[in-house]
Amino acid sequence: MDPFERRLSIDGRLVTRREALAQAVTERAVELVMSALDLNALLDQVDLNAVLDELDIDRVLDRIDLDRLLSRMDLNDIVKRIDVEALVKQTDLGAVIAASSSGVAGDVLDVVRSQTVGLDEFIARWIGRLRRRPYTGPPGPPDQLRPRAGP
């Protein structure tokens, strides 16, 4: 290869004139072949069931690193996108929750606690107004310090 041969830039890469020509010819050839091919007809001829029969799904699954896959997914973001309230209203999940939760005493407890929390927020909002500091909800520790919560 002649190191002093003049080079052209293709896709941010410096190549020789011959290489550039070869690339252009190849691209054009592939384009012509693809336009001549009827992919739908080709796919019609493929027996997908036979292909799937040949596939060893277990082997494929063994090769997938689920931990790595999950580490790349933001599960918290996915969970936040779920409208749990709509889910409860529209599915049997509501009945499951109702059946598994406590009775009248538990309901009264929920209401008492909710009302007191509402009062907490009312007071905190007023304190925020007096201090001219916007109140953005109950403060909590950083996630790494988040305590184990109980019932």
User: Is residue 17 within the footprint of another protein (CB under 8 A)?
Assistant: no
Query: Which single residue is written with the structure tokens 């091919």?
Result: 37
Q: Which of residues 126-145 bind another protein (CB under 8 A)?
A: 127, 131, 137-141, 145
CB 84 within 8 A of CB 93: no
Rounded Cα–Cα distance for residues 92 and 88 (Å): 7
Residue among 43 and 98 whose Cβ is closer to another protein: 98
User: Is residue 21 within the footprint of another protein (CB under 8 A)?
Assistant: no
Classify residue 10 by its DSSP letter.
E
Residue among 31 and 122 whose Cβ is closer to another protein: 122
Of 100, 80, 81, 102, nearest to 92 (Cα)?
A: 100
User: Is residue 149 within the footprint of another protein (CB under 8 A)?
Assistant: yes
In the complex, minimum distance from the CB of residue 112 to another protein, in angstroms, rounded to a whole number: 7
